[in-house]
Structure 1
Amino acid sequence: MAATAEVSGMEWIGVLRGPRHLRAWAIGPENRLLAEARGDSGPEAVDQTALEARVLALIAPWLGRGTDAQDQSSGSIPVIFCDDSGHSGAPAPVPASVPAPPLAAGLAPVPTRDARIELHAQGGLIQAAPADAMQGAAVRIAGFLALNPQFDGVLCDTGTHTVWAHVSAGEVVSFQTFMTAELFDAITGHTVLRHSVSTRDSGAAGADERPGAGGGAPVGDAASDACGGAFDDAMSDLLSRPERLAAGLMTLRAGNNGGGSSDGGSNDGGSNDGAHDAARARLWGMLIGAELAAARPYWLGQQLVVIGPEGPLPALYARALDMQGAGCEVVAADRMTVAGLCAARSALRPSVKGAPHPARPPREGRYDA
């Protein structure tokens, strides 16, 4: 959904570029969320000129000042930008090394041709050993800490890549990133296993900006006993024996050999979708189980919160953790993103403070208030 009309009372705009979508939020007084818009992120890396054009294409209707890019008579609107696309080339400050507050890299001004906007890019975090980096996750972590400043524990930011971050005293102490959902997309879209896990109404990634985050029923009917059991069994097996992942993946093909033709077609129409749903649930179980095995120091005995997009992905992580006795709460990624952008904006203009006003009633739970 693109911006469609001028927004009254808008003070600044937050923008996040994800792998698939460019998201924008119009923010008013006291960090009140006024409107939001979504457009195409674009698959390629962008320089500052292309970035400005893409941002303006999404938010231009909100500006409401005609098309004179040189007209500064009404002042410019600050735009706080963060790149979470995984592409290179977008302008950003030098990332800060952990341990550090999530927004320690600060904002860097990005020159623009259009005088209606004042563009600033937020930097991310890096880690020397093991080598790692994050950008969008740093903004969501900052948003969570803005809403929960006393939190001490581990945040699990799920999406295209899952980031496990140990947070203490307002700083990210260490973190580790896993490409679990991207592996799911690659396996279901570009390997022989696509014939065993595909369904007629699903693509590899689904409709959300992050793979596995809402579209295409990526886990089948995870609430059903069949698919739920398939996920649970596969997750437990790979958590105990992560070295079996590569071999375990091929059991998905063997398990479905009787249900479909060798070229990926189905012998019995929709009746084979159930087997494919169970196979997708098993695939998610294997990938998340292997991830939890490697991330054990982050979740074992820790206070845990999962940050997740809409859709089943964060619920799968919560389910897997609960099976290990590691209870967690799940909070909405969009809300943490907006709160993090608000925190970045307050650093640019200290006079603007406060947490964002929720666009909808807050979820139940201790952390999503």
Structure 2
Amino acid sequence: MSDWIAAERGANGLHGWRMPDGFTAQAADMKGITAKLGNGLPVVMIGEGERTLPAPVIAPPVKTGDHWAIKGLRQATPEDRLGAEIAILAGLVAPRPRWDGVVCITGARSVWAHVSAGEVISFRSFVSGILAGALSAGDPVGGAGFDTALEEVVTRPERLASLLGQGGAARIWGALIGAEIAATKPYWLGQQVLLAGPNPYAGALRDQGVPVEIFDKESMRLEGLKAIWTTRE
């Protein structure tokens, strides 16, 4: 496989990967990315443009001017958009073309997607990680405070604001993830969940009797990019 560059736009510029090996670089613009990862290589932007649901997870990248684009997804009701996460989703789904279940990609912004036979049927996104950061909760943590807050908010979502007001990183994370688990019950109830990213989401789901498989998010991103790139026309 010839080398190429994948890039994702973020709040602080671009993050790039030289494929297929996955060497990474960050820069303010594409000129900086190509200078670090290799001039003259094909470039594909992740999450640029949109496809409407239902839509295949893995679709050929589109040639746009001087680069290729891996389009994200747009959902009309409830209104939502899935951007660069499409690569991670592709990495999880590529080896499972006939699989039916739910994918959860965690992080600052988490995404829950219902997938059936390689197509995204619906999805929801949440900003639990961003809210935790705004409340100075740091990275996801567990512990007794986490478990108690999570269980309380799953069963009584109206307690969310009160628990957040009590402070403490474990309690904040437990309350936020508990609210997310409660809100996504129509997704995970009776389904298998493929989970990519930081946990303690896995334990929270297993406590609800949900079968969960855990995957490394960065590995899935690279595998997804490879799977999408090979479909180009």
Amino acid at match of 2:115: V
Distance in 1 (alpha carbons) for counterparts of 2:181 and 2:63: 36
Distance in 2 (alpha carbons) for counterparts of 1:129 and 1:326: 26
Instruction: Provide closer, same or farther for how the CA distance between residues 61 and 105 of structure 1 changes in structure 2, counting only shifts above 3 A.
Output: closer
The 5-angstrom pairing of residues 64-213 of structure 1 reads 76-83=40-47, 92-93=48-49, 95-104=50-59, 106-111=61-66, 119-188=67-136, 204=138
- How far did 1:106 drift? 4.1
Cα RMSD (Å) of the superposition? 2.2
Distance in 1 (alpha carbons) for counterparts of 2:173 and 2:226: 34
Give the corresponding residue for 2:7.
15
Give the corresponding residue for 2:144.
229
Q: Is the 8 A contact 1:164 1:177 kept in 2?
A: yes
- Secondary structure of the residue that 2:108 maps to in structure 1? coil
Distance in 2 (alpha carbons) for counterparts of 1:340 and 1:12: 14
Q: Which of 55, 65, 75 is the aligned partner of 2:30?
A: 55
Q: Is the 8 A contact 2:163 2:171 kept in 1?
A: no
Instruction: Structure 2 unaligned segments of length 5 or more: list them.
Output: none
Distance in 1 (alpha carbons) for counterparts of 2:83 and 2:57: 9
Q: Which of 195, 207, 219 is the aligned partner of 1:306?
A: 195
User: Which of 1 and 2 has greater Rg?
Assistant: 1
Q: Is the 8 A contact 1:156 1:307 kept in 2?
A: yes
Q: TM-score, normalised by structure 1?
A: 0.59
Amino acid at match of 1:58: I
**Which structure features the higher share of strand residues?**
2
User: What are the Cα deviations for residues 10-47 of structure 1, in whole angstroms up to 9, with x where unaligned?
Assistant: 521222234457332222xxxx42x512315x6xxxxx
Q: How many residues align?
A: 233
Amino acid at match of 1:78: P
Distance in 2 (alpha carbons) for counterparts of 1:242 and 1:283: 13
Amino acid at match of 1:168: S
Q: Is the 8 A contact 1:103 1:123 kept in 2?
A: no
Distance in 2 (alpha carbons) for counterparts of 1:138 and 1:61: 25
Q: Is the 8 A contact 1:14 1:24 kept in 2?
A: yes
Instruction: Provide closer, same or farther for how the CA distance between residues 346 and 171 of structure 1 changes in structure 2, counting only shifts above 3 A.
Output: same
Distance in 1 (alpha carbons) for counterparts of 2:216 and 2:177: 20
Instruction: Provide closer, same or farther for how the CA distance between residues 14 and 248 of structure 1 changes in structure 2, counting only shifts above 3 A.
Output: same
- How far did 1:317 drift? 0.4
Give the corresponding residue for 1:194.
none
Q: Which of 23, 29, 44 is the aligned partner of 1:36?
A: 23
Distance in 2 (alpha carbons) for counterparts of 1:294 and 1:24: 33
Runs of 4+ in 1 over 6 A off after TM superposition: none
Q: Which deviates more, 336-345 or 287-296?
A: 336-345
User: What are the Cα deviations for residues 258-316 of structure 1, in whole angstroms up to 9, with x where unaligned?
Assistant: xxxxxxxxxxxxxxxxxxxxx101110000001111100111110111111xxxxx321
Q: Which of 206, 210, 215 is the aligned partner of 1:326?
A: 210
Distance in 1 (alpha carbons) for counterparts of 2:121 and 2:228: 19
Amino acid at match of 1:148: R
Q: Is the 8 A contact 2:102 2:192 kept in 1?
A: yes
Q: Is the 8 A contact 1:105 1:125 kept in 2?
A: no
Amino acid at match of 1:303: Q
Q: Is the 8 A contact 1:219 1:284 kept in 2?
A: yes
Distance in 2 (alpha carbons) for counterparts of 1:340 and 1:229: 36
Distance in 2 (alpha carbons) for counterparts of 1:134 and 1:298: 16
Q: Which of 236, 248, 256 is the aligned partner of 2:163?
A: 248
Instruction: Provide closer, same or farther for how the CA distance between residues 22 and 330 of structure 1 changes in structure 2, counting only shifts above 3 A.
Output: farther
Q: TM-score, normalised by structure 2?
A: 0.90
Identity fraction in percent? 37
Give the corresponding residue for 2:176.
287
